[in-house]
Structure 1
């Protein structure tokens, strides 16, 4: 049971890393962005290509994945997203799902439909003893990485001027603009940050989920569950939701493999009935 919980927490941390950016952008911009998984795929492919073809190390590749996804996100925000911030949600859905299908076709054409090659660095291979359990080093690394990102986000949003501006914009965009905050620029920076975090999660998913062109569509429902159950516009909400989703999914596949992913949807429905506004309802970004 202990190893199942550990693996579930590691999986949940991965979902959190990818999904937290979607929570921030949805909470701040009220934009229904179904293409968030595309930025995770960009980061994953960037890391894979740099490691397999350019000989870059794993840890520098993680940084490159963040930068690549952030850059792609910045370009798409400037060209497309900002034009639809005040549009009908259906227009936002059509744009973002269109980006998903275009990205799937483009990556299939460029890299083929198969899984991307990936080899763990020696330091993250094998297992280590933790509280009497033999746990994978890579999964332990993902848990540590997720915890560090959570701490960094909470610190940045709670203790910096940028965080104060983001919280103000989340609470009331019009008032924030009236106080001199450049809301459009804030949207741009926040969207770019969210895409970069998705890219980091996509690179880390190489060692757990694998990466293929269908990735943005295959895991879209998981990212949406994390945000909807946790509470859009918060940090701790998606974190708690991601851990719960990860544990439920791993435990379900271990103990009830015949149920498949069905338990995740049962969990989602139950949580939304109990907490329709999310585990952590939005009262500012926290």
Structure 2
């Protein structure tokens, strides 16, 4: 029984780290920029399909495909940010929601046209297809890899936003755009970089999600729900909140499905309601 609990906790934490990678970018852009980008899941789907294409068509290894997934999603977001999203920064929340959810359905239709509705699969390298033995228990190698990647991303984000010049520029641009512009900061460029970072992380998450949950055109909409739950539970703009919230929700979801499978995915919504009743702004949210 102890062994089963340990495995469930491990698998739940790994799934939570996947949710963290998919959601932390939206937490940053929504919390810092105040822009409601429901098309965030579409960038994750884009990263997944880029990974599938470069591995199949170009024969690139999985590790080489991951940064390409990040770059592709980041570049696509820059194009959309400069041509479309920027026009909606001062619009109301309803306009932002309707426009970006419309983009989700456009991306689903485009993915269906190009790739069909079948689930996409990739072949992982041999060292990620096995398991790691620890304390007499076997842990899936790929999930260990996923946890390590999430921890590295967390450390880089925290350091980048708190300790670097770019992080200071982002915080200054968000706190008061007019003063930041008066000090000579290019606020539009800072926002574009922030948007690209958040969307690139979604692309990376989409690439890493293929082996665990698969990839199909419904990815952009299906995981949007999970992403919004993580952002709501963690708190807007909080990387720590997204990390803790994703971990708790991942463990709760996997444990609920394992021990009480008849309830399916009920527990993740139960945790959402319970946490928001106690802390309406999320675990680490300020507003």
Is TM (by shorter chain) over 0.5? yes
RMSD across aligned positions (CA): 1.2
Shift of residue 269, structure 1, vs aligned partner: 0.6
The structural deviation recorded for 1:134 is: 0.6
* CA contact 1:52–1:117 (8 Å) conserved in 2: no
Matched, 1:70 2:61: no
How much does 1:179 deviate? Answer: 2.8
SS in 2 for 1:219: helix
What is the CA distance between 1:116 and its match in structure 2? 0.8
Q: CA deviation at 1:281?
A: 2.1
The alpha carbon displacement at 1:172 in A equals 3.3
Separation (CA, whole Å) in 1 of partners of 2:261 and 2:234: 26
Give the structure 2 partner of residue 103 of structure 1.
Answer: 107
Taking the aligned partners of 2:154 and 2:65, their CA distance within structure 1 comes to 21
Match of 2:34 among 15, 30, 33: 30
2:179 is equivalent to residue 141 of structure 1: no
1:207 aligns with 2:211: yes
Greater mean alpha carbon deviation, residues 53-62 or residues 135-144: 53-62
Written as runs of structure 1 = structure 2, the 5 A alignment for 1:247-286 is 247-282=251-286
Aligned to 2:250: 246
Query: How many residues end up aligned between the 2 structures?
Result: 283
Task: Return the match for 1:163 from 164, 167, 171.
Answer: 167
Deviation at 1:118, TM superposition (A): 1.0
Question: For 2:220, which of 195, 216, 223 is the aligned residue?
Answer: 216
Equivalent in the alignment of 1:184: 188
Conservation of the 8 A alpha-carbon contact between 2:17 and 2:243: yes
Partner of 2:52: 48
1:194 is matched with: 198
Deviates more, 1:199-208 or 1:130-139: 130-139
8 Å CA contact 1:23, 1:235 repeated in 2:
yes
1:131 deviates by 3.6
Cα distance in 1, alignment partners of residues 282 and 202 from structure 2: 21
* 2:132 partner SS: strand
How far apart, in 2, do the equivalents of 1:177 and 1:276 lie? 33
Paired residues of 2:233 and 2:283 also in contact (CA < 8 A): yes
**Contact 1:229–1:272 (CA under 8 A) maintained in structure 2:** yes
Mapped partners of 2:259, 2:30: distance in 1: 34
Distance 2:12 2:224 in 1: 18
Q: TM-score, normalised by structure 2?
A: 0.96
2:157 to 142, 153, 158: 153
The 8 Å contact of residues 170 and 233 in structure 1, kept in 2 or not, is answered as: no
Cα pair 1:69 1:199 within 8 Å, conserved? yes
SS of alignment partner, residue 208 of structure 1: helix
